[in-house]
Chain A
Amino acid sequence: MSVSTLSPGRSMAKPKLLNGRLLPYLLLAPSLVVTLVIVFFPMAQAVVTSFYDLVLWKPNATKFVGFGNYIKLLHDPVFWTALWNTIIWIGLTVPLQMLLGLVTALLLQREFPWRGLARALIIIPWALPSVVIALMWRWIYDPTTGVLNDILLYLTVVHSAVPWLADPHLALYSIIATLTWQGFPFFAVMILAGLQGIPRSQYEAASIDGASSWRQFLHITLPGIAPVLATAGLLRVIWVANSMDVIFVMTGGGPAYSTHTLPLYAFVRARQNVDFGYGTTIAVTFTILLGVVVAFYLARTMREVER
């Protein structure tokens, strides 16, 4: 290396440290260190724990069981029930939220005097703490004093009070209704933003050509918001799959195992039986299954970042 290329480097030495290649890493360091400690380390710990038979209050009885927990899991009927419930849970909640959100967004897109107020208020279910939501709906669903039964009895839709959360055939669907209610504003708001991105001229051109409003919806609106629907839908699948606090407060997973979803099963198992090894195994398995959806979402979002 010649002196001429070296000397400017030397004179720049100090600013180079702060302006050079290292700087972005230095700026990232705090967040990386913190997430390493509170996210990645526990995650690795979880994977390790899943290979052990570990009951928290009996640390001396801990022993390595290899894939033992996973084999046990495959033979656990509750696991399969919970997996099936999780599929119903996601498969019904997300499409229902999306549909209701779409209808709401299309309505809120129209011109009317109190649109601003309506747009602000619609978001309320989404801002409430999930404990409050769960307790609120328990009160509404209450078999003896709940308002839902009162209304349905008054309208003679049903002839006797329905035990919404105590009937194993109804409990899961009752909770799905609650979660649909909680989550549809999110879709409405996302879709509304997407709708505003569709140029008006497209509709004007279509109506000059004589396209009916249904055809306009099919050929302009839907393609226009398709990306939003895909992203919001994936995000919701992940979120709904993970959200177990509402179920936990509403039924605790019961009656029997009728409202167990995988994350709830993991949580209940670890919490009530203090069976950390097995509980973690369920959680890890659930994470791997969810990972497929997450991969789709990440691929979509990272395409964005590159652009």
Chain B
Amino acid sequence: MKKQSTRRRILTTDLPVFMILIVAMAPFVWMILTSLTPTAVLSATGVSLTPAGWSFDNYTRLFAQTSFLGNMLDSLIIAAGTVVVGLVVSVTAAYAFSRFRFTGRKLLMLQFLLINMFPVVLLILPLFVMMRKAGILDTHIGLILANSTVAIPFAVWMLTSYISAIPKSLDEAAMMDGCSRLAALWRVVLPLTMPGIVSTGIYIFITAWNEYLYALTLGGRNVRPVTVAIQTLIGEYQIEWGLLAAGAVVGALPATALFLLVQRRLIGGLTQGAVKG
């Protein structure tokens, strides 16, 4: 009886899940296999499916012959900068939204939600003109600011829900003991919200790392993040899929690894709003 139910479970659950997972993972696995196949083999017989035909040739070329490491540094500076700007500016705003009831609160919250929905394409052209005038086109600062258009509203909303989850009585107790509002925020609320702040920061990092359109339009020459750099790996006469795949794998790795690291907590926060609905 028990054996039969196990077999049934395998047929109705394990197997379908396995198939969906294959669909979800196969393209990326294919990319990894492509990156491990040397270019000569790739054009002669196609992607090597067995370890016998693998080599790190494409990766060696990627780091030795292209500026990929420098591009990763650009991406790192931009993503980390966006995290700092996004979090610093948003923490106090989130605290205000969750602890005070003031005139215009709803409207201002709505405003931040609205910004999140703005099409990138609407902002990208005026930002280009503005940054050209300000002389920050193709700089790290410029791209950090551009990415902040997405990061700030997102961080404000996430942090508001995280801070709201901390009982008000805690900051009230701290204030009773002589703390000012800001001291209560700094000493009581912030440490308790740290897990939320960290996952919001990581999410911002991932989005900024993966961002492409701003990077292409507002950067690209002096400052060239990996997302733009990967595309330039396309060869002059024919597409070098092996090299391209190596770049794609390396470029996708930091964000994917971070994502897997924090996904449970992150998804908890992201879905909270939807679940309550």
Instruction: Judge: A and B partners, yes or no.
Output: yes
Q: How far is the CA of A24 from the CA of B103 in the complex (A)?
A: 10
Q: Which of B47, B89, B125, B245 contacts A49 (CB 8 A)?
A: B125
Q: Which one of B64-72, B105-113, B191-199 is at the A interface?
A: B105-113
Q: Are A121 and B108 touching (Cβ within 8 A)? A: no
Q: How far is the CA of A302 from the CA of B108 in the complex (A)?
A: 11
Which residue on B lies nearest to A139, using beta carbons?
B241
Listed residue (A42, A121, A123, A139) with the most chain B CB atoms within 10 angstroms of its CB: A42
A173 within 8 A of partner (CB):
no
Residues of chain A within 8 A (CB-CB) of B276 are 304, 307
A69 within 8 A of partner (CB):
no
Interface string of B181-210 (1 = CB under 8 A from A): 110000000000000000000000010011
B150-206 interface (Cβ within 8 A of A)? 152-153, 156, 180-182, 206
Q: Which of B13, B110, B119 contacts A290 (CB 8 A)?
A: B119
Q: Which of B92, B241, B256 contacts A127 (CB 8 A)?
A: B256
A77 within 8 A of partner (CB):
no
B52 within 8 A of partner (CB):
no
Which residue on B lies nearest to A226, using beta carbons?
B277
Q: How far is the CA of A147 from the CA of B37 in the complex (A)?
A: 14
Q: Which one of A152-160, A162-170, A262-270 is at the B interface?
A: A262-270
A220 within 8 A of partner (CB):
no
B243-277 interface (Cβ within 8 A of A)? 244-245, 248, 251-252, 255-256, 259-260, 263, 267-268, 270-271, 273-277
Q: Are B181 and A39 touching (Cβ within 8 A)? A: no
Q: Which of A32, A39, A111, A118 contacts B21 (CB 8 A)?
A: A118
Quick one: given A18-B181, A31-B156, A132-B248, are A127 and B230 in contact (CB under 8 Å)?
Answer: no
Q: Are B123 and A42 touching (Cβ within 8 A)? A: yes
Quick one: given A39-B115, A124-B28, A181-B23, are A112 and B126 in contact (CB under 8 Å)?
Answer: no
**Majority DSSP secondary structure for residues of A touching B:** helix
Q: How far is the CA of A58 from the CA of B5 in the complex (A)?
A: 74
A98 within 8 A of partner (CB):
no
Quick one: given A112-B9, A129-B252, are A23 and B122 in contact (CB under 8 Å)?
Answer: no
Q: Are A45 and B248 touching (Cβ within 8 A)? A: no
Q: Are B124 and A24 touching (Cβ within 8 A)? A: no
Q: Which of A46, A194, A230, A232 contacts B126 (CB 8 A)?
A: A46
Q: Are A242 and B120 touching (Cβ within 8 A)? A: yes
Q: List 15 A-B contacts (CB under 8 A).
A: A18-B181, A28-B92, A38-B148, A104-B20, A111-B13, A128-B210, A129-B251, A136-B248, A189-B270, A194-B271, A232-B274, A283-B125, A286-B121, A301-B273, A302-B109
Chain A residues with CB under 8 Å of chain B are 15, 18-19, 21, 23-25, 27-28, 30-32, 34-35, 38-39, 41-43, 45-46, 49, 56, 100, 103-104, 107-108, 110-112, 114, 118, 120-133, 135-137, 139-140, 145, 147, 150, 181, 185, 189-190, 193-194, 197, 227-228, 230-232, 235, 238, 241-242, 244-245, 248-249, 263-264, 266-267, 270-271, 276, 279-280, 283-284, 286-287, 290, 294, 297-298, 300-302, 304-307
Chain B residues with CB under 8 Å of chain A are 9, 13-14, 16-17, 20-21, 23-25, 27-28, 30-31, 34, 46-47, 85, 88-90, 92-93, 95-97, 99-100, 102, 105-106, 108-115, 117-127, 129-130, 145-146, 148-149, 152-153, 156, 180-182, 206, 209-210, 212-213, 217, 226-228, 230-231, 241, 244-245, 248, 251-252, 255-256, 259-260, 263, 267-268, 270-271, 273-277
